Amino acid sequence: MSEIPRTSPATPDLAPNGREWFMMTVDEATAALEVDPKQGLSSEEAQRRLEQHGPNELTEEGRIQPWQILLQQFTEPLVIVLLAATVVSAVLWLVERGSPGHEPLPYDSIVILAIVILNALLGFFQEYRAEQAVAALKKMASPESTVRRDGKVRDIPARDLTPGDVLILEAGDRIPADARLIHSANINVEESALTGESVPVHKQIHVLENPDAPLGDRKNMVYMGSAVTYGRAEAVVVATGMKTQMGDIATLIQSVEEEETPLQRELARIGKQLGVLVLAVAAIVTATGVLREGTITSDILIDMFLFGVALAVAAIPEGLPAVVTAVLALGVRRMAERNAIVRRLPAVETLGSATVICSDKTGTLTRNQMTVRRVLLGVDQVLTVSGEGYEPEGEFQTPEGDPFDKDDGHLVALLRGASLNNDARLVRNDEDRWAIDGDPTEGALLVAACKAGIDPEELRRDMPRDGEIPFSSERKRMATIHKLEDRPIAFEKGAPDVVIDLCTHVRRGEEVIALTDDLRQRILAVNEEFAGGALRTLAFASREIPAEMAGRTEFDAEDLERDLIWEGLMGMIDPPRAEAKDSVKQAHGAGIRTIMITGDNPMTAAAIAAEAGVDDFLAQATPEDKLRRIRAEQTNGHLVAMTGDGTNDAPALA
């Protein structure tokens, strides 16, 4: 298995001075856009810019219309032959009308035409529904936005945004345009639809120096279609509509030319051959009949021609298109039951002939649900955690695979801190499935606690939060203060290398011992082992607050975050679906090569690819990279199937 080198990232819309927005300071960016962040644009200036740049919408040039989908059903050569047969049968009926035994209606024409129409309607409804579903994948813009204009905060339609508008972003907002952050209060943004990264990105306003920074590394930028999962921020719009990163993807979708599937090519060949055969049969029968009569008269010539045409029409398999369409429609329905959208009916047959399957990672091979997989208690007690996704079902196991006691005091202490130093909620969604309200990483911690029999909501009621020192990109940690049996206690969560430097002791089973340099190095070695397996690690510590600090309502970080007790580590990842692993095995059994194409980082991609069993992977891939890889496989003579569910997959799926 190898990592395939990626191409350069998509070029963002540049500033008027030709520089990338993420390489400019806040002052430089606002100056280039001629806007005062404290006042925002004036209504008049916003209107002028809107007329200049156009509405903040993704145009859908070349989108196929319903009447075009219907018309396409009649363009197959075999269908054209059947339509010709309908006309010929009707003409024969008209010629023979009035003769003895003549049918009152052209039943042959009616039957053939009915078959053609039913076939067309069946194909139309299947493909129209698929087009509507795919269009929904492309529409990721927010309907309304909060901006500052004329010095006041107001809500406006997202389509009215223009470069220079100052966005006000809060948790739960969908970002309506590409923008440069100018102020951030611990904002996390979920960008998996664009980048493939399962974990929300913590954003900041500092200047980036790498002009080739991938989309996911541009920490001071936010992009249309992504969503705020935590915190607040202000950002100045730098690009709208088709000039956004989402617009680049829309342009790429529109540039993709559809190719005929093997089934379509084969049916076209059969249709052409049938057309030639029909004409040949009519000519041969006519000529043979005339030769047998020995004389050539107009009556004999007409009779023989009509007989030859009737024989040729009778030989046409008028039920073939309907049978093919019905079988394909059944395949589409079976795919739909498995939540797969098939845009075009013939693609179902192509799936059966595929020699290469390319798949996105996040949400396709995986659930896009962070899951705690490994736990370190103290120094050297490593546990694995079963289960996947947000379902609170699973158990803690020792390295030997034996169940670990869920009531173990050290495990309970670790999970208690992880549940309380946490702003997420584990909830039931509209489909009565478990979901996370908040940051997915924090949500994974709650699910792990539930697997140990801890109810996070009950725990929060019993130990309400009395104070906190919030997370920041500079601190890389967060502290919350609670009461345990009327004794104030602080829980710390953050980057392992940061948290461990604040600790002087470590919990080991039921006792607390001094944290020596040797123990510290052993802990960091386990952290490196977890990270080497592409696990996202978080460290946890605690401290009983001294009596002299107990009455405070505000806490200073230097006073609170010291002399901590190291509790342990948790490592999490967005793991492959169990059914995805089975599907990869079935593909291998059928001789199909599997390739995972993701925008995620190489280490995570390698770990998921190895666990899922795919043959190869492409990491940090842009939408252009995905499309380019598929075309390369097709050029090498392979039939390629592509699966995905994100906006960045749309060009490859088109």
| Cα 50 from Cα 370, distance rounded (Å) | 40
Q: Is 360 a catalytic residue?
A: yes
**Exposed, middle or buried by CB within 10 Å (0-12, 13-18, 19+), for 161?**
buried
Angle between helices 77-96 and 320-337 (to 10 degrees): 140
Question: How far apart (Å, rounded) are the C-alpha atoms in residues 232 and 184?
Answer: 6
The SS3 assignment for 576 reads strand
CA distance linking residue 446 with residue 635, whole number of Å? 48
DSSP string, 1-42: --BPPP-PPPPPPPPTTS--GGGS-HHHHHHHTT--TTT-B-
Cα 336 → chain centroid = 17
Cα 178 to its chain centre, rounded Å, is 19
Euclidean distance between CA atoms 507 and 414, whole angstroms: 10
Sequence length of the chain is: 654
The phi, psi pair for 135, rounded to 5°, reads: -60, -35
- CA quadruple 25, 31, 36, 41: dihedral positive or negative? negative
- Of 173, 248, 360, 574, which one is the catalytic site residue? 360
Which letter, b or e, does each residue of 630-641 get, where b requires 16 or more Cβ atoms within 10 Å of its Cβ?
Answer: beebeeeeebbb
Tokens found for residue 58: 């993704």
DSSP 442-489: HHHHHHHHHHTT--HHHHHHHS---EEE---TTT-EEEEEEEETTEEE
Q: Catalytic amino acids? A: 360
